[in-house]
Chain A
Amino acid sequence: MPEARPKTEPSLRVLIVDQNVMRASILEEGLREAGYLNVTVLREMHNLMRRIVDIDPEVIVIDLENPNRDVLEQMFQVSRVVRRPIAMFVDRSDTDMIVAAVDAGVGSYVVDGLKKERVKAVLDMAITRFHAFNKLREELDNARQALDERKIVERAKGILMKQRGMSEEAAYALLRKAAMNENRRLSEVAQSVVTASSLFK
């Protein structure tokens, strides 16, 4: 993965708020490799406000699926809650960065006045890692779907073999022919066979 190595920033306090354990780990690992040693991951949303006050982060990275984004945004408005004012996103003028972040499914908040270049590397990393995670998830979903489809075809073949006394090859050929005639996917036809058979039980 081509990642620009930023200057190490062992002191920058980064907080990751993400209920997805795998994604949080992927990001945390990336940040540590890049020299960010002060990274905290919050997976538990209970007492969010207290935890953030204790951690006193300079940069907060949160996944956009998290309903607690609204909780965070209000906390930042109430100045007495956090020690320093926190701004939304990285820099209000950097629209491209915001678009890239939202596309990747990640939001970030930074302490107001923190230098842009100190934050940019963190957000770049978050965007890259979120994309990597999305890709991974997609591949997993595809693999799972392929597996499910194969299983359903096996079941449909079994039903045909048993109820119509067919060989495995003939059952498979029959399913394929039906799929081609009806212009449907093999797994869809197999699913109808399984559903129909369950109705006749």
Chain B
Amino acid sequence: MSDVTTVVGFIPLLDCAPLAVAAEKGFAAEEGLDLRLVRETSWANIRDRVVVGHFDAAHMLGPMAIASTLGVGHLKVPMAAPLSLGLGGNAITVSLRVWDLMVSEGAALSASPRALGEALRNVVRARERANKQPFTFAMVYPFSAHNYELRYWLAASGIDPDRDVRLLVIPPPLLVDAMREGQIDGFCVGEPWNSVAVSVGVGCIVLPTTAVWPLSPEKVLGCRLEWTQRHPDRLQALVRSLFKAALWCQQPQNHLELARLLSEPRFVGAPAEILLRGLSNRLCLQRGGEAEHLPEFYVPAAQAATFPWVSHALWFYSQMVRWGQVAFDPEHVAQVRATYRPDLYRLALADTTDIPSADTKIDALFDGVHFDPDDLPAYLKLLSHS
């Protein structure tokens, strides 16, 4: 098998870790894979280069795989997500100026998402009354967990993400500069970029994903459906090697070595000390503050973190509908379900124990609204009233 190179694209973010480890620590070679990683500069490139076959697979935003299958926003190319690249790892950061305003409305670090959201809403309303420009928040891509998490929190706090604030896309490595220059007032992004903003003194982490939705879905290994059908052996080898690499990433004794590896410019290119914060679940929420222990902030492998829950795909779809990216269509539901592939995951890991036997589960975010994956219209109705 190793006479064919398997090319996988990635974006410099903490959760590319299993890919880096599979390539560098021999897990891919053990499975007979000649794995070549290619660092990319935009999510659009990840999508396009998977679509045209430059990449066999990629570190992909979960919602991006779904959008591609449905042909929303771009070409309709059916994707398959046979593995999840971990859970959590994101946070919402606001500029120090916004944080000061929130504090004057009674906000405190580590307060509940509700209390923090209320403080932000008061600040937003006060700006409205003063006829000031609305705040600008950034996220990394329209079809991303970051976009939906940020919108969910804003909406649950009584802030309309399309009317009360401006939302725009800025690539992760450019976010901190944009905040420093005052172009944006807040953002939602994966690590290490929240911790970078804190360490250079431009922002303050208000909400790690653990507060919004513990063990929330993030990226997947995304490939063209057609590729998975043509190369079942390579696909299985890839899933197995990433599964093992993710287990390695989960071990605390490996975190320092992993942080150093990811700090290399060919991977993430951020200081190892900063990368270590997300890996070890210890984030400094503001500069000079004590590191906060946030259990299960970023989970590469534990808690079935690599399992591609079909209910996660359905939640992403529900948010695409909620925010008007696509109109609800019962026919979409089958296509969304077919994008996440627990069957391929189980096939590749047949010798492994502790694999979930169900494909879906009931989830709830911080506001306690239950997400029933089998009844999306009812869920959307609940959200519109909450």
Contacts and interface: CB of A to CB of B under 8 A. Distances in A.
A20 interface: no
Interface string A51-65: 000000000000011
Given A99-B52, A107-B48, A77 B168 contact: no
B325 A73 contact: no
Given A98-B75, A102-B54, A71 B48 contact: no
Contacts of A69: 42, 44-45
B146 to A, nearest CB: 12
A49 interface: yes
Interface of chain B, main secondary structure: loop
Interface string B48-73: 11011110000000000000000101
Interface string B342-380: 000000000000000000000000000000000000000
B124 interface: no
B140 interface: yes
Contacts of A73: 44, 73, 141-142, 169
A68 B48 contact: no
A68 B171 contact: yes
Interface of A: 49, 64-71, 73-75, 77, 88-89, 92, 95, 98-99, 102-103, 107
B169 A70 contact: yes
Nearest to A45: B174
B69 to A, nearest CB: 15
A45 to B, nearest CB: 9
Interface of chain A, main secondary structure: helix
A95 B76 CA distance: 11
A103 B169 CA distance: 25
A134 to B, nearest CB: 15
A65 B44 CA distance: 11
Interface residues of B, number: 26
Contacts of A99: 52-53
Contact of B169 (A66, A71, A89): A71
Given A70-B141, A71-B171, A88-B74, A98 B51 contact: yes
Contacts of A70: 42-44, 140-141, 169, 171
Contacts of B73: 73, 77, 88
A65 B40 CA distance: 8
30 contacts: A49-B168, A65-B41, A66-B41, A67-B42, A67-B171, A67-B173, A67-B174, A70-B42, A70-B43, A70-B44, A70-B140, A70-B169, A70-B171, A71-B168, A71-B170, A74-B141, A75-B168, A75-B169, A88-B73, A88-B75, A89-B75, A92-B71, A92-B74, A92-B76, A99-B53, A102-B49, A102-B52, A102-B54, A103-B52, A107-B48
Contacts of B173: 67
A77 B54 contact: no
A77 B325 contact: yes
Given A75-B169, A77-B325, A88-B75, 16 more contacts: A65-B41, A66-B42, A67-B171, A68-B42, A68-B171, A69-B42, A69-B44, A70-B43, A70-B44, A71-B170, A73-B73, A77-B73, A77-B142, A89-B75, A98-B51, A102-B48
Closest 9 CB pairs of A and B: A74-B169, A67-B171, A69-B44, A69-B42, A67-B41, A102-B52, A99-B52, A70-B42, A88-B74
Contacts of A66: 41-42
Interface string B64-91: 0000000101111000000000000000
Contacts of B142: 73-74, 77
A158 B327 CA distance: 73
Nearest to A92: B75
